[in-house]
Amino acid sequence: GQNIDQPTEMTATEGAIVQINCTYQTSGFNGLFWYQQHAGEAPTFLSYNVLDGLEEKGRFSSFLSRSKGYSYLLLKELQMKDSASYLCAVRDSNYQLIWGAGTKLIIKP
């Protein structure tokens, strides 16, 4: 079957750096997405990786290794507003999105 694994919950300190990992086993691969979802709000798109390597967008970066079935989302200079759930999703060979259960990130002062 297809599976996406990410930690259920992580805690980090304001101003620090945190890395949220995502590993996947899917039928084919056509890109990996990260979404952010604040409590009670809509998930919003953060990043997209289809080739190996690092994609940087401000304080957020996303890394992909297709050979390892692995991605991470790196958040730098953490702010309290970064407290949210982070969803990893992979687009398989049929262009279906396979979702992880999300990682709840708690930022402490």
Partner 1 sequence: ETGVTQTPRHLVMGMTNKKSLKCEQHLGHNAMYWYKQSAKKPLELMFVYSLEERVENNSVPSRFSPECPNSSHLFLHLHTLQPEDSALYLCASSQDTEPGELFFGEGSRLTVL
* 99-102 long-range contacts, CB within 8 A, separation 24+: 99/4, 100/4, 100/5, 100/6, 100/22, 100/24, 101/4, 101/6, 101/8, 102/6, 102/37
Is 87 a binding residue for partner 1 by CB under 8 A? The answer is yes
Nearer to partner 1 among residue 2 and residue 13 (C-beta):
2
Count of residues that bind partner 1 according to CB under 8 A = 23
Minimum CB–partner distance for residue 17 and partner 1 (Å): 25
Minimum CB–partner distance for residue 98 and partner 1 (Å): 8
- Token digits of residue 16: 């620090």
User: Are the beta carbons of 19 and 72 closer than 8 angstroms?
Assistant: yes
Q: Tell me the sheet residues that pair with 23.
A: 5, 70
Is 33 a binding residue for partner 1 by CB under 8 A? The answer is yes
Is 45 a binding residue for partner 1 by CB under 8 A? The answer is yes
Task: Using CB under 8 A, list all residues that contact partner 1.
Answer: 4, 8, 31, 33, 35, 40-45, 48, 87, 89, 91, 95-102
